Structures are given as structure tokens and as C-alpha cells.
Amino acid sequence: MSNKVLEKALNEQLNAELYSAYLYLSMSAYFSDIGLSGFANWMRVQAQEEQFHAMKFYDYINERGGRVILTAIDAPQTEWASPLACAEAVLEHEKKVTSLVNNLVDLAIQEKDHATNIFLQWFVTEQVEEEDNVNEVLNKLRLLKGEGNGMFILDKELGTRVFTPPTAA
Ligand code: FEO
């Protein structure tokens, strides 16, 4: 990739997506541990999505003649105070990712790299969906206050989610 500033930034985002996968897998392990297998499935599917995101950056860097550099992935948090606290942490993390994507778009524009700007637009749209998804679960959790049959039903619902790779990838 002729633009080394962008190449470095794309590699950093590749690492951030892998960290997201690691964080969500850690959340999945937390939910399994407290007996919420549906929530665990939800986070496991999220982790798969993040790996898919990471591979999109991996392939794009290669396609542009850049060099993929894999670096250390930070250890994720392992415990949360409650399912609600964990879901709140997901939203907080997704918001952080959204701002990373927006910063990358700014950089692509600044560097006049139109192809990278277009590539990143998929992620801009994806982040709207990602935040919306988490918000939906969060709203239900807030209503339920972690109690009773509602939690059982929500856990069951989240257990049905499956990973479907986006077709327009
Ligand atoms: Fe790769 Fe959930 O953003």
C-alpha cells in the first residue's frame, strides 16, 4: 500500500476488531458461567462477527498491496457485575468502535484515498446496526431488571441467534 499512514491505521483497526472478538468471547464465557446459555450464544455470535470484520480489513490491506502486521491482542475483562452491566459494556465498546471507524474515514478523506473511504462505508453502516442490536437487548434487560420468567424468555430468544456472513461482503 503506497500510503503507509493509512496502512498502519488499517492494521490497527484489524487489531481492534480482533480485540472485539476476544472481548465478546470473554463475555460469552462469563454468561456460560452464570448459566445464561442464550446470552452466551449471543456473544459467541458477536465474536464471530468481529472475526469477520477483522478478516475484511486483512483482505483489504492485502488487496491494496499492503502488508498485514498482526500484533498482540490485549487481554479482555473476564468478570462483570451482572448481565445488565455486561450488556452495557457491549454498547460502550461498540460506541468506541464506531468512533474508531469514523476516525478512519476522516483519515481516508484527509489522505485523499477514495477507495479506502468507500471500503470503510460498509463499516459505517454496520456500526449503526451493531449499536441498534445491543440497544434492543439492553432495553429489554432494563425492563426485566434481571428477574423471573422474562430473563428466561430473553435467554431463550438470544439462544436462537446464528452467525450469517453478510452477502454483500
Ligand atoms: Fe466490528 Fe462490532 O464492530
pLDDT (tens digit, 9 = 90+) per residue, 97-123? 999 999 999 999 999 999 999 999 999
Provide the terminal-to-terminal Cα distance of the chain, rounded to the nearest Å.
21
CA of 3 to the centre of ligand 1 (A): 24
Q: At residue 143, does pLDDT exceed 70?
A: yes
Confidence of residue 151 (pLDDT cuts 50, 70, 90): very high
The rounded distance, in Å, linking the Cα atoms of 168 and 125 is 12
Name the band, by pLDDT with cuts 50, 70 and 90, for residue 168: low
Name which residue sits closest to atom 1 of ligand 1, judged by CA.
Answer: 50
Taking the CA of residue 17 as reference, the ligand 1 atom at the shortest distance is 1
Q: Give me the residue spans of the domains in the chain.
A: 4-158
Q: What's 4-158's CATH class?
A: mainly alpha
Q: Determine if ligand 1 sits within 6 Å of the CB of residue 17.
A: yes
Atom of ligand 1 nearest to the CA of 53: 1
Separate counts of helices (H) and strands (E) for the chain = 5, 0
Is pLDDT above 90 for 164? Answer: no
Percent of the chain topping pLDDT 90: 92
Say if residues 91 and 48 touch (Cβ distance below 8 Å). Answer: no
For residue range 27-73, list pLDDT tens digits in order. 999 999 999 999 999 999 999 999 999 999 999 999 999 999 999 99
Atom of ligand 1 nearest to the CA of 16: 1
What pTM value is reported for the model? 0.95
Indicate if ligand 1 lies below 6 Å from the C-beta of 53. Answer: yes
